[in-house]
């Protein structure tokens, strides 16, 4: 029998209730049941009709906690206990916390509170149709109720502080959680322990630091039906990128078993990014999939006194993603629904931190917690800080460890390796904490550290969340950092080089650049950005610009794919066995190896396009020279040896050549996926080194065979202007392509007839040469006459401000610059145009 949800209570009745069902509370009831429980009630009432699954349950109220404290006369005793509290003195903190918890635990619940919790649990059992195998173990006073409400339902018992989950203070994890709790007696014991956990060392320390009065905060306990993720998967997701603050992506982490391992950082989970705007349009925009090691999982401990245990994950399961693409997209949609709802309730954008679980029995997905994200959402958007290691220091320093970067800053100091929380009093302020993983018990020293490095954990684990909140750089999931780094060793922790965080030996020099981005002028000339590394795209998107003028596929291919496309397509024909082994390892998740190329290329392109959406992202199709292609895994078998690859078999001439066109087809498939499946129609493909109009037509024919027809789905195709013939025949090229982008490096080389790689003639290479400038003027005039867009994506405007001014005076539509030149050039152009 499933009984109906309780009738709504009046406000006055709710305020005096000892227990409330989740269906009876909403987000306005944080003072009654805390942030966690109020949020569960809000979602059950408002979001279940929108398809978000949330397991139900009940909560003890703040009134119940205060009633317990008042009836037992505990407040005066606790105030006396905390009269000489010093959270900076760890011994004092530990002693006071232990005494406070003992005081709570040794004080029995009032009979009326005990009865209210027991009856609510029994009714919850009945709502889920639980059987009666626990009945005989209950006290006489509950036997009658047990006959009506069988009582072996597995529940999660979680604390929810009434000051918890506010947008500017994350109390998450400050109190205790108990999983797989069964039976009235165990539920009562767990609730009692939750009450006591309001005075854990970490909670006392956190409240003191944040300025909360210990007696202004009450504790509610949520009792919620467990999701059997011990038989499946679970994780955490954020409706914002946790590192860059990019608001249009949702980060989803996933691992096997119960979710506590992901939250605590005891496992390195899989990570997935989805793009929210086109996801909500019905597209499938999975921007990234990163495999985690997932070595252990938390499961029910059946037949033991313990509630849960950790067991190893079988190796085959570790080496595959633990949720499907459909499940990733479903979770992403739920993140959007939850964020949109809370943003409406708060009347301000409210990114969310959400825990989810999959039930291994039913196969259903559930949301089990949701709270406002507390770091990126609180940052001021007026100043951008860029951290950068100086000069060649990193290339000459020993790399000690790598992992997942948390934040984008750099920290340094002497390392302190601590493996047991009982030894945290050894830590000195300003040191770098190096440990296996952290939980809230470590927080008293985390706030004193210059950086944090852990063996375990992903970007949503405890160490990552607290490091972000405190503004401390951290690297998590390093694997063996505690063995690779020694106590007392001077180290530099760099999170400024993309998603991969790196620990270097020594104190490396670095600089911090601050850029003010408020009240910037809008220029007629579009200011675009050159972007190569997809891992930096979300961060770079915070720099004001009008889109991407050049995204180079070479970076993605060289760093993420690493293998020659033909080596993947003709894997069985490879002659080098070592190369074959390396490619097999790279593509282990793929039965059809070319799919690896398409997936990685699409995800890289997609990340760049998503970061700047809906502004244009001009993506240059691959432009490796034959010697560069040969350096890819398996490449030597498929590439010719050319005397001068710079003007050899490159760009357009490869795309339609029978010896390479099938490989170019993989690029087309990736491009089509980004535009059609991901919905990122702001991507504009650009053809490099197209020597003749006839070559251009041949390339468009090949693209059309792969579903990329110019004009369909708003597809535009641009061409690089980097060969003198592109200028001379610009009228003809305008009939074939929708726009031009001047590649000043190659155009200068070929106009002046020199090899820019030759040191002997390097002094002649100068984009400011009058012959080069005349070529630029000519092609701008011709493009304008034919109604075609024209921009520049070469190095010259970044290096020479006077060249940028020349371009504006010549009427160019857009200038694409390296990221560090965007702001300066924007202001120069605004001054030249007389705006701002």
Give the residue numbers marked as catalytic. 462, 793
What is the C-alpha to C-alpha distance for residues 775 and 728, in angstroms, rounded to an integer? 9
Please report the beta strands in 22-129, taking only residues with DSSP state E, as ranges in sequence order. Answer: 57-60
Kindly state the tokens that stand for 52: 């978000």
Cα 135 from chain centre:
46
Closest of 28, 101, 29 to residue 59, by C-alpha: 29
**What is the C-alpha separation between 259 and 236, in angstroms, rounded?**
8
Instruction: List CB contacts of 60: < 8 A, sequence separation 6 or more.
Output: 18, 19, 33, 113, 116, 117, 191, 220, 221
Residue 662's CB is within 10 A of a number of other CB atoms, namely 14
Q: What is the dihedral of CA 496, 499, 503, 509, to 10 degrees?
A: -10
Q: Is the dihedral of CA 459, 460, 462, 465 positive or negative?
A: positive
Residues 152, 155, 158, 162: what is their CA dihedral angle, to the nearest 10 degrees?
Answer: -90
Residues written for the chain: 836
Burial class (CB in 10 A: 0-12, 13-18, 19+), 794: buried
Q: Which residues contact 305 (CB under 8 A, 6 or more apart)?
A: none
Q: How far apart are CA 589 and CA 445, in angstroms?
A: 41
Q: Give, in degrees to the nearest 5, the angle at Cα 420 between 419 and 426.
A: 90
CA proximity to 739, closest of 790, 685, 693, 814: 790
Residues 6+ apart with CB under 8 A from 641: 626, 627
Please check whether residue 494 is in contact with residue 408, taking contact to mean a CB–CB distance below 8 angstroms: no
748 phi and psi angles, rounded to 5 deg? -65, -45
Identify the residue whose tokens are 């939980």.
439
- Best CA proximity match to 551, nearest among 277, 757, 818, 283: 818
Q: Is-cis flag, bond preceding 388, omega within 30?
A: no
* Pairing mode of beta strands 617-620, 548-552: parallel
> Count of CB atoms within 10 A of residue 123's CB?
17
State residue 41 phi and psi, 5-degree precision: -65, -40
What span, in angstroms and rounded, lies between the C-alpha atoms of 254 and 324?
A: 11
Provide the token pair at 604.
Answer: 């890289």
Among residues 240, 239, 215, 208, which one has the least CA distance to residue 161?
215
Q: Return all residues near 706 (Cβ < 8 A) that are at least 6 apart.
A: 665, 668, 669, 672
Number of C-alpha atoms within 13 angstroms, CB side, residue 275?
29
Q: Provide the 8-state DSSP code for 678.
A: S
């Amino acid at each position: 029998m499933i009984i109906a949800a309780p009738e709504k209570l009046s406000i006055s009745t709710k305020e005096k209730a000892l227990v409330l069902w989740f269906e009876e509370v909403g987000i306005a009831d944080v003072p009654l049941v805390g942030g966690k429980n109020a949020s569960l009630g809000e979602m059950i009432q408002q979001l279940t009709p929108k398809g978000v699954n949330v397991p139900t349950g009940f909560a003890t109220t703040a009134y119940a906690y205060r009633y317990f404290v008042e009836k037992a006369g505990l407040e005066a005793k606790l105030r006396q206990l905390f009269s000489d509290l010093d959270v900076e003195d760890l011994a004092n903190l530990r002693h006071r916390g232990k005494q406070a918890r003992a005081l709570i635990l040794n004080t029995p619940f009032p009979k009326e509170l005990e009865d209210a919790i027991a009856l609510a649990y029994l009714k919850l059992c009945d709502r889920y149709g639980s059987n009666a195998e626990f009945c005989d173990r209950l006290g006489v006073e509950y036997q009658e109720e047990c006959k009506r409400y069988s009582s072996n339902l597995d529940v999660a018992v979680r604390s929810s502080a009434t000051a918890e989950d506010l947008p500017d203070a994350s109390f998450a994890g400050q109190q205790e959680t108990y999983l797989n709790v069964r039976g009235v007696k165990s539920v009562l014991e767990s609730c009692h322990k939750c009450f006591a956990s309001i005075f854990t060392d970490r909670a006392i320390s956190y409240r003191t630091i944040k300025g909360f009065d210990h007696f202004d905060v009450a504790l509610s306990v949520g009792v919620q039906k467990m999701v059997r993720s011990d038989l499946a998967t679970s994780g955490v997701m954020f409706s914002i990128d946790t590192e860059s603050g990019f608001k249009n992506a949702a980060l989803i982490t996933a691992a096997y078993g119960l979710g506590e391992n992901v939250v605590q950082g005891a496992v390195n989970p899989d990570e997935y990014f989805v793009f929210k705007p086109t996801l909500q349009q019905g597209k499938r925009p999975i921007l990234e999939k990163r495999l985690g090691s997932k070595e252990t999982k938390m499961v029910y401990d059946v037949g033991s006194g313990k509630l849960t245990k950790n067991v190893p994950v079988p190796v085959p399961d570790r080496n595959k993603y633990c949720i499907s693409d459909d499940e990733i997209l479903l979770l992403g949609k739920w993140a959007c629904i939850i964020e949109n709802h809370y943003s409406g309730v708060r009347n301000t954008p409210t990114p969310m931190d959400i825990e989810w679980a999959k039930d291994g029995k039913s196969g259903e997905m559930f949301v089990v917690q949701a709270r406002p994200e507390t770091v990126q959402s609180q940052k001021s958007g007026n100043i951008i800080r860029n951290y950068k290691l100086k000069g060649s220091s990193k290339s000459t320093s020993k790399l000690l460890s790598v992992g997942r970067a948390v934040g984008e800053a750099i920290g340094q100091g002497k390392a302190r390796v601590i493996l047991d929380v009982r030894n945290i009093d050894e830590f000195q302020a300003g040191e770098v904490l190096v440990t296996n993983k952290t939980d809230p018990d470590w927080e008293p020293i985390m706030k004193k550290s210059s950086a944090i490095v852990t063996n375990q954990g992903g970007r949503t684990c405890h160490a990552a969340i607290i490091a972000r909140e405190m503004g401390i750089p951290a690297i998590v999931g390093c694997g063996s950092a505690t063995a690779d780094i020694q106590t007392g060793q001077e180290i530099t922790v760099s999170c400024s080089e993309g998603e991969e965080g790196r620990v270097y030996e020594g104190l490396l020099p670095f600089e911090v650049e601050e850029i003010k981005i408020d009240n910037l002028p809008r220029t007629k000339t579009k200011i675009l950005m050159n972007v190569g590394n997809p891992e930096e795209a979300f961060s770079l998107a915070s720099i004001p610009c009008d889109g991407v003028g050049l995204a180079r596929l070479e970076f993605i291919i060289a760093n993420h794919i690493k293998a020659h496309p033909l080596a993947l397509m003709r894997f069985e024909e490879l002659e080098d066995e070592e190369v074959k082994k390396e490619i097999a390892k790279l593509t282990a998740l793929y039965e059809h190896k070319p799919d690896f190329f398409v997936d990685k290329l699409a995800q890289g392109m997609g990340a760049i396009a998503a970061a700047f959406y809906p502004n244009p992202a001009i993506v240059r199709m691959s432009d490796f020279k034959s010697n560069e292609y040969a350096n890819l895994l398996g490449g030597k078998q498929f590439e010719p040896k050319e005397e001068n690859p710079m003007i050899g078999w490159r760009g357009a001439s490869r795309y339609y050549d029978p010896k390479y066109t099938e490989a170019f087809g993989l690029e087309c498939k990736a491009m089509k996926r980004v535009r059609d499946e991901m919905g990122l129609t702001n991507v504009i493909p650009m053809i490099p080194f197209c020597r003749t109009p006839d070559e251009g037509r041949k390339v468009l024919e090949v693209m059309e065979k792969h579903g990329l027809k110019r004009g369909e789905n708003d597809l535009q195709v641009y061409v690089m202007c980097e060969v003198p013939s592109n200028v001379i025949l610009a009228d003809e090229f305008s009939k074939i392509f929708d726009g031009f982008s001047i590649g000043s490096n190659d155009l200068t080389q070929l106009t002046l007839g020199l090899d820019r790689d030759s040191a002997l003639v390097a002094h002649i290479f100068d984009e400011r040469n009058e012959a080069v400038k005349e070529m630029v003027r000519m092609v701008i005039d011709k493009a304008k006459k034919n109604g075609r867009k024209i921009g520049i994506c070469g190095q010259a405007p970044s290096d020479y401000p006077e060249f940028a001014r020349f371009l504006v005076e010549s009427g160019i539509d857009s200038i694409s610059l390296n990221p560090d030149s965007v702001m300066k050039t924007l202001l120069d152009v605004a001054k030249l145009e007389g705006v701002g």
